[in-house]
Amino acid sequence: MQNYKIIIAYDGRRYKGYRKTKTNSEQSIQGKLEAILYKLYEKDIEVISAVNTDAGVSAHYQVVNFHAPDIGMDEKGIYEYFETYLPDDIITLSVEKVDERFHSRYLARQITYTYRLWKKNAPRRPLFERQLVNVMDKPLDVTMMREGAKVFLGSHDFAAYATKSKSGSTIKEIQSMDIEETDVEVIITMTANGYLLNMERYIVGTLIQIGFLERKVDSIHRGFKTRDNKDVGHKAMAHALCLKKISYE
């Protein structure tokens, strides 16, 4: 069996996330990829992602891998096969044969997301960007948001900043968090060693409320302490979140 590493990008707005379930195969990124591989190999092939992006979330850089029989097709051939059958909102960036021990998820060390907020006082309404930004209905205090971002840095128990799931440890490390302001946008970029379900969106929702001066920076610590979702901000909308980079050691 040959292990293949593929880097893909996708517009996730019409999909119910990366992960395939019994009911959403046609509406998941994984389902689309595995259907193409079934045509090629005439057998079920599992495609593992570095991150299971949520419904509506896009990716500029997602890493997946799969093990399949070596049928004599090189990387270029597999790349062209995917590009022939993928829908317009999913593209292949590269295909590479890798060591059989490579695992896109377990070996990932840094995962970076961006979240785009369109400012209430921007000089124009969003046009081409409107499908990929969260339009604010109040001005944001970016200075306070940056103070909040500092509190999230490091290792913490993020149980309160996530949708409950059956995943293991709720301890995650936020390695960096930057907040950039332009004339029209506030762009939050965060890098972590991993994320709980919807963790990115609850962090952003908390920072938005801090930016609205509806929540104090110190309230972030309360969420870490109580592990209660009631003590954190709202879950920010999915469509403005984008997976940007996966790094491996």
Residue with tokens 């962090």: 203
Q: Which of 216, 113, 224, 217 is nearest to 159 (CA)?
A: 224
Contact (CB, 8 A) for 139 and 242: no
Question: Which tokens sit at 184?
Answer: 């029209």
Alpha-carbon span 169 to 18, nearest angstrom: 22
Report which of 123, 181, 176, 125 is spatially closest to residue 153, judged by C-alpha positions: 176
DSSP 82: H
User: Which tokens hold the place of 138?
Assistant: 């109040």
How far is 30 from 24, CA to CA, in rounded Å? Answer: 10
Strand duo 58-68 + 241-248: pairing: parallel
DSSP 76: H
54 assigned to active site: yes
Sign of CA dihedral 60, 175, 47, 65: positive
| Options 11, 44, 54, 89, the catalytic residue | 54
CA–CA separation, 7 and 135 (whole Å): 30
- Residues serving a catalytic function are 54
